[in-house]
Amino acid sequence: MQYWINFNGVQSGPVDLDGLKEMGLTSAAYVWHEGLSDWVKITQLPELQGLYEMVETPVQAASEPMTQQAGQLAINTTQPYQPQPDPAEPCPPTNLVWAIISTVLCCIPSGIVAIIYALKVSNKYREGDIEGAKRASETGAWWCIATIILGILTMPLGYLMMAGGVS
């Protein structure tokens, strides 16, 4: 089974049982694995008994939310684990600037589609969907190109209409 750990404000994982033994965890650590709906203290999982050192922690009232105290990062134990993007895999280009420029200068309808795809890139990357972010980046780039081409193709028609050649 793979575990994710939140210990001393640092989230790491996935880690197997052997990896947990080497981490030097204390009873203050929080753990999550598939099947759990929320983070739990390591002491609440019987299969992890003996893999951590017991330490005394101040008791916090159940109704009092965890806050940043004494320079330590607060642990959000109300949300299930969300995978984080691999820092080795950079976010693909959003092409947002090109989408906005091509929308304003060339063709509004197709430019709006380019902007929508440009905005999807960052969202998908933050969700951990690297492949989805790459597809959205590529699709947005093609919509930018199509917007510029449509603007160039319709420019002569616009000049004709302004010159009064087409009634």
DSSP letter string over 49-107? TTSEE--------TTSPP--BTTBPPP--SS---PPPPTTSPPPP--HHHHHHHHHHT-
Q: What is the pLDDT of residue 92?
A: 92
* Averaged pLDDT, 139-147: 95
Domain boundaries, the chain: 1-82, 96-163
* Averaged pLDDT, 155-159: 83
Residue 161 has pLDDT above 50, yes or no: yes
More confident residue, 167 or 142: 142
Residue 157 has pLDDT above 80, yes or no: yes
Q: What is the pLDDT of residue 59?
A: 47
d(CA 144, CA 156): 20
Cβ–Cβ under 8 Å, residues 102 and 111: yes
- pLDDT digit string (tens) for 5-31? 887 777 777 788 777 777 777 777 788
Q: What is the pLDDT of residue 89?
A: 80
* Three-class DSSP labels, 16-56: CHHHHHHCCEECCCEEECCCCCCCEEHHHCHHHCCCEECCC
Q: What is the pLDDT of residue 16?
A: 80
